[in-house]
A and B are shown apart, each in its own frame.
Chain A
Amino acid sequence: MNYKMMGRFIGKMLIVEAVFMIPALLISLSGSEYNAVFGFGVSLLLTLLAAGILLLAGRGSKKKFYAREGLVCVGLSWAILGLLGALPFYISGEIPDFVDAFFEIVSGFTTTGASILTEIEGLSKGIIYWRSFSHWLGGMGVLVFLLAITSAGGGDNGFTMHLLRAESPGPNVGKLVPKMKKTARILYLLYIALTVLNVIFLLAGGMPVFDAVCTAFGTAGTGGFGIKNDSIAGYSPYIQNVCTVFMLLFGVNFSCYYLLLLKQFKNVLRDEELKLYLGLAAGSILLITLNLRGFYPTLGETVRHAAFQVSSIMTTTGFATTDFDLWPAFSKTILFGLMIVGASAGSTGGGFKCGRALLVIKSLRRSVRKVIHPEKVQVVRSNGHPVDEKILQNVNAYLAAYAIITLLSFLLISVDGFSMMTNLSAVVACFNNIGPGFEAVGPTCNFAGFSWFSKLVLILDMLAGRLEIFPILILFSRSTWKRR
């Protein structure tokens, strides 16, 4: 294993993190929140120190870097990103328990939005900003950001592909253009443009600037940390609708936007995953609206709440305008299903991904047909192109890993004594990077009641969910650390 190179890589990533702490520090300074200033100041220095040590230790590294190093790097980077990102919360004393602070920031970076805080409005502005900003950085991925600004060590090396694959979710991630650096830049430019657009729309609805920026960060990363105790419920219907639309937009595969820029409208319209994604959203909204008849005073309000909750849950954002835990069982079950399916591949959203679900269903259909007609040779197609068997195998393996991890985490956290629905939805909400679940972890409640052991399990779930399982799983595999 090329530890030196990994050290250098993680060191560079930490410098990015440190630089992004500066705005939070300035916001704290301007608000005269001295605890937070102290927290950010010390964290910044510590992060830079860690980066310096890693960069020094990684001097003169060899260029050899393979898939294994790439994946381990991703897993470690995210764990370290969380550990150092938790420092401002802890040092400023606003979240006195370190496991809580770690949980909160991992929830932020993985764009989960599950919180252990009961009282958000009491936090200082700098801390709220850092919390929301972690969504934005985690949404497109800090390593992709690193790829966009540096050559990340190996200029002509292909290993960067693994970094993109790990951070950019989906069964079959490819580059948009031949050069990784350019691909990462295009992704981030699209991301920044959409975020700015979101801020403008929110400002137009009369939202204060700070609220608009933080809410846009939460929406863009499909994270879901609100800056109010009641999430988005207190804002005007216009702002809620803006959020609905933008959450849906950020749940679309970003390569679709790139194709739109290239004026390849046909390819976008024909995209099966996009069709499934929008179809599922529309169908769910319709069914929930029907199911909620009489729950809210007007039809308009029903549709607004249904649409908001559906797009929030499906894109794995986790904002809420109403306590959907009070909804009838049918609507809740639909939401639960959407939690698992998740957003599109190549978006900032989490979950199993529509694209994967599509492939699982198609290969299942093939298997069923094979039983009836064993001699028939069948090829699974996606967007009219045959899908390679290897991708199908990976998708099925992913499904298995996904199910096993869900069940195992479910078992591990049930020792805390909450109800089964609480535990299951807590695991699903964390693993799919959504945030709120049902019952004791519902939209009006939080994760504070869990023991630190359960919190650690959920932290791992969040990381595994964000990085698509394997970069985290391999950290626990003995063969990873064996000498070649």
Chain B
Amino acid sequence: MKIIIAGDGKMGATLTRQLSAEGYDLTLIDANLMALESSEERYDIMVVQGNCASMEVLEQAGIGEADLLIAVTGADEINLLCCMTAHGMNPALHTIARVRNPEYSDQIYKMRDMFALSMTVNPEKQAAVEMERLLKYPGFLKRDTFAQGRVEIVELRISADSRLCNVALNDMNNIVKCKILVCAVLRNGTAIAPDGNFVLREGDRIFVTAAARELTLLLKNLGVITHKVKRVILCGGGRVSYYLAKLLHRSGIDVHIIERNAERCLQLAAILPEADIIQGDASSQFLLEKEGITDCDALVTLTGLDELNMIISLYGTSCGVPQVITKLGRMDNTNILGNLSIGSIISPKELCSNTIVRYVRAMKNQTGAALTVHTIADGQAEAMEFVVEEGTRYLGRPLKELHLKKNVLVACITKGAAQEIPNGDSHFEQGDTVIIVTNGKKGIYQLNDIFE
């Protein structure tokens, strides 16, 4: 499949990494030759320098034979124009545009139809949604939803005083008293597929499959105090802040936004009448204390500088803020950050890139394609959701009789409204939803790919 990516920035580079690993024919367009050269050096792709909305450049990139165009330049308008132009040149083309200006976000569905876009993505909005979900369940570092919200894979950190510390997985059920499955463990930056004898240690990050309705019970039995978040401080008043403040306000949560730029503060105050906008430097401890960091329920760092976000989050944790979320825009390498106590890490570009990769996979394989794909364990593992179809092999045969590929784990089977954490006797039936966890290197595109 031929894919053209317009814009070789943070987002474009992340997409290139993910899509080239899956073996698509990629062509990158950007005006900046330096960025293109470094991408060309790293991946097996073709590059074209120029303005992606110009027909000549699109022609040069081979728009006529392309199947998909992804426009992720810095400017929404260019992205839209690029998609419209390209679609005009090749009506069979699928187009995805990144549109992130909040002023367009209400009209985006109409625009999608008017401009014949296949999909629009908004990384900042997506990040805000993700953060809101985390704020609803303090205690989890990350939540990925499957089976229309009925199953989740959540990330937990094992701290020294955790009830799970130094416990073997076989004995875990006695403590949590609900059906869960540890599908991956991240220890010292490496993902491990654990077996029953695996003993959890301090500092491990575990990825657990559980039914959504059991999450509260899980947290309670683990001794993680769940309290309702009432007051949140957002550092930085960018687009994510705006979207998040809107969402939080809807859930009745009190929001304080600290933003340095006076003009931006005025804008925010105009569009977010319900939030408290504070003008000041969020890196100043005095200001944070004055705004009550010591008794807020959550701190979310959303400034444009990754370093600053990390420092403020560290400070927040040291002040005893129960839940901290850190936004990282640029950093790829989250595994070196795993040991820092900066709470949950949300990377808008990763979230958005995952959404696009999901679309691409579905496009490639219309039938039997994964419904959802989430990368977990810092991108070292993938969790995919499939529907068991008529053509699925070994229907009704217990799992213990089947030969699954190495590093493939069946994490959950959803039968109707009931979720089943599988054991050797579980089996697939037509209509089931299955969650598979792999190390992401096996090239699994359909459910049948998991069998040897």
Which residues of A come within 8 Å of B, CB atoms?
Answer: 66-67, 154-161, 174-175, 177-180, 182, 388, 390
Contacts and interface: CB of A to CB of B under 8 A. Distances in A.
B88 interface: no
A177 B48 CA distance: 11
A161 B40 contact: yes
Interface in B20-58: 20-21, 23, 25-27, 33, 39-47
Given A158-B45, A388-B33, A178 B40 contact: no
A179 B33 contact: no
B443 to A, nearest CB: 11
A174 B46 contact: yes
Interface of B: 2, 20-21, 23, 25-27, 33, 39-47
A160 B41 CA distance: 8
Contacts of A67: 41
A157 B46 contact: no
Contacts of B47: 174
A154 B44 CA distance: 9
B25 A158 contact: no
Given A155-B23, A156-B21, A180 B44 contact: yes
B41 A390 contact: no
Given A178-B46, A179-B44, A390-B33, A158 B39 contact: yes
21 contacts: A66-B41, A154-B44, A156-B21, A156-B23, A157-B42, A158-B39, A158-B41, A158-B43, A158-B45, A161-B40, A174-B47, A175-B46, A177-B25, A177-B46, A178-B25, A178-B26, A178-B44, A178-B45, A179-B44, A182-B25, A390-B33
Contact of A178 (B2, B21, B41, B42): B2
Contacts of A178: 2, 25-27, 44-46
Given A177-B25, A178-B2, A160 B33 contact: no
B46 A160 contact: no
Contacts of A177: 25, 46
Contacts of A161: 40-41
Given A155-B23, A178-B27, A178-B44, 15 more contacts: A67-B41, A156-B23, A156-B43, A156-B44, A157-B42, A158-B40, A158-B41, A174-B46, A177-B25, A177-B46, A178-B2, A178-B25, A178-B45, A180-B44, A388-B33
Nearest to A388: B33
Listed from nearest, the 9 A-B pairs whose CB atoms lie closest are: A178-B25, A178-B46, A156-B20, A158-B43, A158-B42, A158-B41, A175-B46, A180-B44, A156-B21
B43 A157 contact: yes
B226 to A, nearest CB: 43
Given A178-B26, A390-B33, A158 B44 contact: yes
Nearest to A181: B44
B117 to A, nearest CB: 23
B272 to A, nearest CB: 43
Given A156-B20, A174-B46, A390-B33, A179 B25 contact: yes
Nearest to A70: B41
A160 B20 CA distance: 14
Contacts of B25: 177-179, 182
A159 B20 CA distance: 14
A174 B46 CA distance: 8
Which of A157, A158, A178, A179 counts the most B-chain CB atoms under 10 A from its CB? A178
Contacts of A390: 33
Contacts of B41: 66-67, 158-159, 161
A69 to B, nearest CB: 12
Nearest to B48: A174
Nearest to B46: A178
Nearest to B50: A385
A93 B39 CA distance: 50
A222 to B, nearest CB: 27
A391 to B, nearest CB: 10
A155 B441 CA distance: 12
Contacts of A179: 25, 44
A177 B42 CA distance: 16
B28 to A, nearest CB: 9
Contacts of B20: 156
A480 to B, nearest CB: 17
A160 B25 CA distance: 15
A174 B60 CA distance: 13
B16 to A, nearest CB: 10
B50 to A, nearest CB: 9
Nearest to A160: B44
B44 A157 contact: yes
Nearest to B2: A178
A174 B44 CA distance: 12
A156 B2 CA distance: 15
A177 B23 CA distance: 13
A225 B16 CA distance: 45
Nearest to B37: A390
Which of A156, A159, A160 counts the most B-chain CB atoms under 10 A from its CB? A156
A201 B108 CA distance: 63
A178 to B, nearest CB: 4
B61 to A, nearest CB: 10
Contacts of B23: 155-156
Contacts of A175: 46
A155 B44 contact: yes
Nearest to B3: A178
Nearest to B28: A178
B13 to A, nearest CB: 12
Nearest to A264: B59
Contacts of B45: 158, 178
B113 to A, nearest CB: 31
Contacts of A158: 39-45
A60 B197 CA distance: 28
Contacts of B42: 157-158
A159 B46 CA distance: 13
A157 B43 CA distance: 5
A343 B25 CA distance: 31
Nearest to B43: A158
A171 B20 CA distance: 26
B69 to A, nearest CB: 14
Contacts of B44: 154-158, 160, 178-180
A156 B16 CA distance: 10
A390 B25 CA distance: 27
Contacts of A180: 44
Which of A155, A158, A177, A388 counts the most B-chain CB atoms under 10 A from its CB? A158
A175 B39 CA distance: 14
